[in-house]
Chain A
Amino acid sequence: DTEVTQTPKHLVMGMTNKKSLKCEQHMGHRAMYWYKQKAKKPPELMFVYSYEKLSINESVPSRFSPECPNSSLLNLHLHALQPEDSALYLCASSQGWTVGNTIYFGEGSWLTVV
């Protein structure tokens, strides 16, 4: 079972709202990722968690706050977002954060900021 589950599939939020995106995997993977993808563009890395510790933050604005409560869950907390933050947010996981690991992606959460 190579499945990464993301909820919600669609989210519309105002610029003053606080919301969260959730990601879950039960493959025993120890690395989890958040990517952001704008329309007709490739995915761009935001955060990497390895063994539940934040390993990479690609200079993402603080209005995006990641959290890894345990090895199966990854959240992305959203606060005071801007309309330009509207995008597809993809969660992914891999066996480990090492070279050669296949990275499995979820279906994504479509975020619209109004």
Chain B
Amino acid sequence: SQQGEEDPQALSIQEGENATMNCSYKTSINNLQWYRQNSGRGLVHLILIRSNEREKHSGRLRVTLDTSKKSSSLLITASRAADTASYFCATINSGGSNYKLTFGKGTLLTVNP
């Protein structure tokens, strides 16, 4: 079953604008990761945020995590056409010994030049 649910499912913006994608999950997690996937390609790891962290930055990416609301957001600032891709959040549940990375349904981001 899918753990994360991204919102929106699709997002279209103009180059230079900021893009915000949200992810909600259902059970307690140890960490949450964001991945990017260009059409028909493999997944590229973007950022990992641990459950005891609230915010993390990497270049033009900003990720927040609110464990009380079981939600995370990915902000891409000053977007570029090359940012066009699907973005997935993925979680690893806390507890137990089966560390399975479970993906949400993804947000398809289109950045128009």
Contact = CB atoms under 8 A, between A and B. Distances in A.
B100 to A, nearest CB: 6
B42 interface: yes
A42 B104 CA distance: 6
Interface residues of B, number: 25
A86 to B, nearest CB: 14
B100 A108 contact: no
Contacts of A105: 35, 42-45
A41 B105 CA distance: 6
Nearest to A4: B42
B41 A48 contact: no
A15 interface: no
A36 B42 CA distance: 11
Given A99-B30, A107-B42, A43 B99 contact: no
17 contacts: A4-B42, A42-B105, A45-B100, A45-B102, A48-B100, A56-B98, A90-B43, A97-B99, A99-B31, A99-B92, A100-B31, A100-B48, A100-B92, A102-B33, A104-B45, A105-B43, A108-B42
